[in-house]
Structure 1
Amino acid sequence: MGSLKRPAAAAESSAKRAKTAPAGKSTLHAVKSPAEAKTLNDGVTLVGGAVMPAVGFGTYKLKKGEAAGPVEAALRAGYRLVDTAQVYENEADVGAALRASGVPRENVFIETKVWRSSHGLERTTKAFKQSLRRLGVDYIDLYVIHWPGAKTGWPLKKGTVCPPDWTPAMRNLGTWKAMEQMHDEGKVRALGVTNYSLRHLKELLKTCRIRPAVNQVEFHPRLVQSELLDFCRKEGIVLQAYASLGSGDAGQAEDFFKFPPVQAAAKAHKVTPAQVLLRWALEKGCHVIPKSTRPERMAENAGVFSFKLSSKEVKAIDELNAGTRYAWKGLDPDTIV
């Protein structure tokens, strides 16, 4: 698949990039690929210059008012990327945890997302300002679109959407334009998307002035999105995997830890199945954001730098691919017009 031509207007000026730089000196360290990361401080340099840690801490399903403790524990354990979202309603907890941890702001990579009911220039701008205020920070390292379509389903009436004036063009000509403006103002260091298919990415690349730096998608042994991963690599877009250890969003019946190739690799390297699954994703070229409320599991998920899988072990896990989606109740984002 050929690489899309980069729009001439996509190159930001050095002055604009400088405006988004942290006030202090960051201890985050750049490596060439996620597989080369040696610590939780190591990551890949994104478009625009920000370093995004290869292994971060996810907060999906950590409830409002209950997320501060686990996030603070993760920061104290050495995690330097925290992934949150407008719809998670725990951004205030993330901000509180950051302040309580004592870790300097410039050493933590904060990623949050604009929810699908906030598509559009004005709504996205408003949602971003609210996220910034809840987090209690001056800038966000990575701001992403959570879903390529509008909000549908409960609690909305059947056949209705939110925003009510939604059109597919809105995500690129409204939402993305608002995000570019925030980047220009120095309030965001990098822009990205979540749950974007190849088609969605290609459409965005045709119209954007600032290119997406990250695409966060469901990626695990049952859903090895090789074509999407290859495209992102060619376009300089980092693929960040979620549901690496499994997802219960579709009533998942499978236990990823019990897959024979995962068990075999865990035994061979004297590590846990969870560590094998995360290491496999890193070897594939993905970033990961595992979540846990237990300190021992946080430590376990961070222990993926001391071993490497062989090409044979990676291939054996690859062969578990069945194209099965568990997140979003199994809905394929590519079905979103």
Structure 2
Amino acid sequence: MKMVTLLSGNDMPIIGLGTFKLRGRDLIHKCLQTALEAGYRSFDTAAVYKNESDIGDCLIELLPKYGLTRNDIFLTSKLAPKDQGANRCREACLTSLTNLKTEYLDLYLIHWPGTQGRKPGDQDNPRLRRDSWRDMETLYKEGKLKAIGVSNFEQRHLIDLLESCEIQPHVLQTEHHPHLVQSSLVEFCRHHQIHFQAYASLGTTTDNNKLLTDPTVISIAKNNSKTTAQILLKWAIQQDIGVIPKSSNPDHIKSNMDLFSFELSKEDLARISGLDSQHHYCWDPRGIL
């Protein structure tokens, strides 16, 4: 497993298992077991996924079976938009720790730059996320969070945060794939030593898997004797961008980890990047003040 050393000093696997829409203890147990067997050591969840408690239970049961302890895995969760703001953020984070049955999180993210119940242009949005960040800085100093970051932030949101924070964000997790290449945001993060982690690397089923069925991606996959999913994920990690693919299919979970046995050529990387259409398949934060 390739590791990324965050500005906080801790190491983060470049590949993690996403758990969005994974619900129910039996399904989560099966997915986590398959992932651990395949070599995953990073797991990404969020309060809004409503699966933290089941993930916590399953990890407590499964880790000893593979000779692992809590310290051997990297666990990420996120602040729900409804819990944005001073003290609310702290309470929400402590609830996530309780649900996940852990004394600390390896990474905690502000899930969204806005606040639930407030309009995108609400003048309080910047203040509320700054208040959340101060809570997270305190939790980081207390050792309850090993690294802190944000999700779905645009560059202007990051600039606002960098101007007011004491501890800068260690990670930005956001939508990034060949149909939404965020080159300037990637470069901004690299300049500020913020690890860039992509979600929705494979697109979404609601958009009929347009990424997985893209003719260019299919052609490159055939030439490399790999799946289209492996090509899309490799495109990211070969650029040192983290990925957190989600799947409930055991075969897909395993194959999504098999990304270190091949390299894409410069020509293939360029062809894939050339598919950019600036299309969001998921949340679009552009309207959030």
Q: TM-score, normalised by structure 1?
A: 0.80
Return the alpha-carbon distance in structure 1 between the equivalents of residues 185 and 119 of structure 2. 28
Return the alpha-carbon distance in structure 1 between the equivalents of residues 144 and 119 of structure 2. 29
- 1:257: Cα distance to partner? 2.1
- Would the alpha carbon gap of residues 253 and 70 (structure 1) be closer, same or farther in structure 2, given more than 3 Å must change? closer
User: Which residue identity is paired with 2:105?
Assistant: I
8 A Cα contact 2:115 2:128, kept in partner: no
**Which aligned runs of 4 or more in structure 1 are off by greater than 6 angstroms?**
none
Q: Deviations over 1:94-142 (max 9, x none)?
A: 1112111122111100000001110111100110110000000111000
Secondary structure of 1:140's aligned partner? coil
Alignment partner, residue 226 of structure 1: 183
Higher mean displacement: 82-91 or 98-107: 98-107
Return the alpha-carbon distance in structure 2 between the equivalents of residues 237 and 268 of structure 1. 34
Return the alpha-carbon distance in structure 1 between the equivalents of residues 216 and 238 of structure 2. 15
Matches for 1:68-87 after TM superposition, within 5 Å: 68-87=29-48
Alignment partner, residue 239 of structure 2: 284
Alignment partner, residue 97 of structure 1: 58
Is 2:71 aligned against 1:113? no
Q: Deviations over 1:256-288 (max 9, x none)?
A: 122232122212211111100000011232100
Matches for 1:308-319 after TM superposition, within 5 Å: 308-319=263-274
- Would the alpha carbon gap of residues 93 and 263 (structure 1) be closer, same or farther in structure 2, given more than 3 Å must change? same
8 A Cα contact 2:47 2:77, kept in partner: yes
User: Which residue identity is paired with 1:335?
Assistant: G
8 A Cα contact 2:173 2:199, kept in partner: yes
Return the alpha-carbon distance in structure 2 between the equivalents of residues 96 and 45 of structure 1. 28
User: Which residue identity is paired with 1:239?
Assistant: F
Alignment partner, residue 138 of structure 2: 181
Return the alpha-carbon distance in structure 2 between the equivalents of residues 199 and 184 of structure 1. 26
Matches for 1:18-57 after TM superposition, within 5 Å: 39=1, 42-57=2-17
Is 2:288 aligned against 1:336? yes
- Would the alpha carbon gap of residues 167 and 244 (structure 1) be closer, same or farther in structure 2, given more than 3 Å must change? closer
Secondary structure of 2:246's aligned partner? coil
- Would the alpha carbon gap of residues 245 and 179 (structure 1) be closer, same or farther in structure 2, given more than 3 Å must change? same
Flag structure 1 segments of 5+ consecutive residues without an equivalent.
Answer: 1-38, 153-159
Secondary structure of 2:75's aligned partner? strand
Q: State the identity %.
A: 41
Return the alpha-carbon distance in structure 2 between the equivalents of residues 256 and 48 of structure 1. 33
Flag structure 2 segments of 5+ consecutive residues without an equivalent.
Answer: none
Return the alpha-carbon distance in structure 2 between the equivalents of residues 290 and 316 of structure 1. 22
RMSD: 1.8
Alignment partner, residue 96 of structure 2: 131
The number of aligned residues is 283
User: Which residue identity is paired with 1:108?
Assistant: I
Choose which of 245, 250, 253 in structure 2 pairs with 1:298: 253
Matches for 1:164-175 after TM superposition, within 5 Å: 166-172=124-130, 174-175=131-132
- 1:166: Cα distance to partner? 4.7
Q: TM-score, normalised by structure 2?
A: 0.93
User: Which residue identity is paired with 1:73?
Assistant: T
User: Which residue identity is paired with 1:192?
Assistant: G
User: Which residue identity is paired with 1:240?
Assistant: Q
